[in-house]
A = this chain, B = another copy of it.
Amino acid sequence: MAGDLLIKGGRLWAGAGLDWPRGVVEIKAGRVSWAGAEADYPWAEPPVEVLDAQGGLVFPGLVNAHTHGAMTLFRGLADDMTLENWLTGHIFPAEAKWVNPEMVELCTLLAAGEMLLSGTTTVCDGYFCMKAAAGAYARAGMRAVVAQGVVDFPAPGVPNPARKMDVCRDFLEDCCGVHALVKPGLFAHSCYTCGPTTLRAVSEMAQAYGVPWFTHLAETSQEVREVRGRYGRPPALHLEQLGVLEGLTAVVHGVWLTPGEMDLLAGRGVAVVSCEESNMKLGSGTADLPALIRRGITVGLGTDGPASNNDLSMIGELGATSRMTKLDAMDPTAMPAAKTLELATLGSARAMGLTGLVGRLQPGYAGDVVVLQPKAPHLTPMFDPASALVNACRAADVRHVVVEGEIVVRDRRVLTFDLKAVMAEVRALAEKVRRG
């Protein structure tokens, strides 16, 4: 039956603090129906399909809680420059010229292929022309929340900003309930690109349709200065004062949050998504994850877009987040490996509204599983699989990937679409971008 699969022969990581026994994951109709030690599994009823992990590490699919997938087209187009120069001098003009539904579908497919190959099974993608992005993730067999971007100026697919909420409504009407794996949401870009009226409209529409919504918040000190200057308070307090903080699913970055803003987010149940590599590359700063976690705030991890990272590997984020948190705290105990893995699975899932569905290998959760090949020299020897994953593992160590009980990557090859053809098309389009 579709979505039925038995994964055996590997070492199982079922969550922080749990051991790695030789384990079995049984998936029925896309959901985990049994997970645990091989010795305890009732072998009576053999399933239709078996995936032999062959001594691999079996863990929940990684969850990328923030990216802009279609920006793969602009990967490496402009680096090593100030955020302002990067955005206004290069990225915004390139987006105005090249972003359209066909480009979004094509370049989001490339993003999906890259993410699946690096063990990411679920993504939260905020960009424009998101009906096309939803189609791409559905075609790739990847779980996604696709959030339509909202700004107060003309944007790809939204030439008239006065009609932006109509575009959002059309998107939600078109996408709600259409794809089994892909859910819609909204992405109000930020407090400096969305005025109070827009933020309130996005909040209300998300509530009306019962979909998650997100916004970039406190990414740079410049942003905080700008918001303080315009509204007289820092960004999270600004959202609270507008009455939109309650119901906001997650804020992205949260580098410059004050302790008072953190308390407010904790009180309102708003999650924070940290994008460590992007914040480093753009010189933005570092989110204080221990301070957020201490307050009970849900913390998820994301890669950010491929124009500011420049890859979409959550395995890279695991290492960067663990190391950077230790450095920032000047304390090598500040972010243990198992905790980092928990943020990149359960934390990220919660930060995109998928609480209880994604991020654990436990009965009732989605059958989203990664099998890692532990035989490379950089993983030899292996005293602690969680440490190996966070501190030494690389995307190429990912061998098989399962989403909703379906094998979408087998032996490092994407099965759901022709990734090679997609790459060739993106290269051809990039050649046009290069010529200007």
Known: A86-B332, A281-B326. A79 touches B391 (CB 8 A): yes
Distance in angstroms from A434 CB to nearest chain B CB is 6
Q: Which residue from B80, B83, B286 sits with its C-beta under 8 Å from A337? A: B80
Q: Is A330 an interface residue (CB 8 A)?
A: yes
Alpha-carbon distance A284/B77, docked complex (angstroms): 34
Q: Mark A73-110, 1 if CB is under 8 A from B, else 0.
A: 10111011111001000000000000000000000001
> Please, which residue of chain B has its CB at the minimum distance from the CB of A72?
B380
Q: Which residues of B contact A383 (CB under 8 A)?
A: 75-77, 430, 434
Docked-complex contact B336 and A380, CB < 8 angstroms: no
Q: Is A427 an interface residue (CB 8 A)?
A: yes
Alpha-carbon distance A282/B419, docked complex (angstroms): 39
Interface-located stretch among A13-21, A198-206, A291-299, A307-315: A307-315
Known: A310-B392, A332-B82. A327 touches B381 (CB 8 A): no
Docked-complex contact A285 and B327, CB < 8 angstroms: yes
Q: Which residue from B81, B281, B326, B427 sits with its C-beta under 8 Å from A380? A: B427
- Chain A interface residue count, Cβ-Cβ cutoff 8 angstroms: 72
Q: Is A45 an interface residue (CB 8 A)?
A: no
Q: Which residue from B80, B286, B375, B378 sits with its C-beta under 8 Å from A313? A: B378
Q: Mark A318-342, 1 if CB is under 8 A from B, else 0.
A: 0110111011011111111100000
Docked-complex contact B281 and A332, CB < 8 angstroms: yes
Q: Is A2 an interface residue (CB 8 A)?
A: no
Docked-complex contact A76 and B392, CB < 8 angstroms: yes
Q: Which residue from B323, B391, B423 sits with its C-beta under 8 Å from A375? A: B423
Q: Which residue from B309, B329, B381, B387 sits with its C-beta under 8 Å from A426? A: B381
Q: Which residues of B contact A286 (CB under 8 A)?
A: 327
Q: Which residues of B contact A173 (CB under 8 A)?
A: none
Q: Which residues of B contact A332 (CB under 8 A)?
A: 79-83, 86, 281-283
Docked-complex contact B387 and A310, CB < 8 angstroms: yes
Alpha-carbon distance A241/B342, docked complex (angstroms): 50
Docked-complex contact B76 and A280, CB < 8 angstroms: no
Q: Which residues of B contact A333 (CB under 8 A)?
A: 80-82
Q: Mark A395-425, 1 if CB is under 8 A from B, else 0.
A: 1100000000000000000000001000100
Distance in angstroms from A376 CB to nearest chain B CB is 8
> Please, which residue of chain B has its CB at the minimum distance from the CB of A430?
B381
Docked-complex contact A391 and B310, CB < 8 angstroms: yes
Q: Which residues of B contact A280 (CB under 8 A)?
A: 323-324, 326-327
Known: A79-B387, A394-B396. A283 touches B329 (CB 8 A): yes
Q: Mark A113-138, 1 if CB is under 8 A from B, else 0.
A: 11001100000000000000000000
Distance in angstroms from A402 CB to nearest chain B CB is 19
Q: Is A215 an interface residue (CB 8 A)?
A: no
> Please, which residue of chain B has its CB at the minimum distance from the CB of A424?
B380
Q: A76-B382, A281-B322 are in contact. List 10 more A-B contacts (CB 8 A).
A: A76-B391, A80-B336, A110-B380, A114-B378, A118-B378, A280-B327, A281-B326, A284-B330, A311-B391, A378-B395
Closest 8 pairs between A and B when the two form their complex, measured CB to CB:
A381-B430, A396-B396, A280-B323, A114-B377, A310-B391, A80-B336, A280-B327, A311-B378
Can you name 10 A-B residue pairings with CB atoms under 8 Å? A72-B381, A79-B336, A280-B326, A281-B323, A283-B326, A310-B392, A311-B392, A381-B433, A383-B434, A394-B396
